[in-house]
Amino acid sequence: MNELLFVVQQHQAMHLHWDFRLEMDGVLVSWALPDGPSINPKEKRLAFRVEDHDFRYKDFEGIIPGNDYASGKVLIWDRGRYEPQNAGSFCKLHENWLSAGRLEFVLYGTKLQGAWIIFRTEAKLYGEDTWYLCKKDDAFSGTVEIVKAAPRSVVSGKTIDEITAADGIFDLNNYR
């Protein structure tokens, strides 16, 4: 049985967003969600594909130095195991599953659980593909706004405002 990991990192950059990352073929395939995930099946959430991250980034909480769009505070909002559902073989997830533009999976996080889907649409926004992350209706769906109801780190218990440099300073050299 493959053990694959997902992580959601809240990121207070120039704009607050949540980075949703799925481990595939040894890297963290990533989307940025301006409004974060919703456990309400009626609320699909806009997601932009952003660059793959080193797998070790799953443990990063702290501050990314600088003044560009990617700098700012990072908090591990949720993390856990996930299972691909419509991936065929678990080999070459990155190549086969991601390119299909429709990924179904079950999350086993602290906050996010049950069945989910993320899919690519034809629409472009700012010249980029748009995706939507959506909760499927099951025992783990609901109507609470989970990013507001459960704002704290699953690792440190901190809120994004409580993150300081003491939690960690991002150093790219540690991730390549």
Q: φ and ψ at 92, to 5 degrees?
A: 55, 45
Per CB under 5 A, which region of 7-15, 88-96, 103-111, 157-165 contacts Mn ion? 7-15
Check: CB of residue 49 under 8 Å from CB of residue 154.
Answer: no
Residue 17 C-beta: closest distance to Mn ion, Å: 6
Binds Mn ion by CB under 5 A, chosen from 6, 19, 36, 98: 19
How far apart are the C-alpha atoms of 19 and 10, rounded to whole Å? 6
Q: φ and ψ at 32, to 5 degrees?
A: -105, 130
Q: 64 or 87, CB closer to Mn ion?
A: 64
Interaction between residue 11 and Mn ion (CB under 5 A): yes
Q: 67 or 89, CB closer to Mn ion?
A: 67
Check: CB of residue 96 under 8 Å from CB of residue 87.
Answer: yes
Half-sphere exposure of residue 47: CA atoms within 13 angstroms, side-chain side? 27
Residue 108 C-beta: closest distance to Mn ion, Å: 23
Residue 168 C-beta: closest distance to Mn ion, Å: 15
Per CB under 5 A, which region of 11-19, 91-99, 107-115, 134-142 contacts Mn ion? 11-19
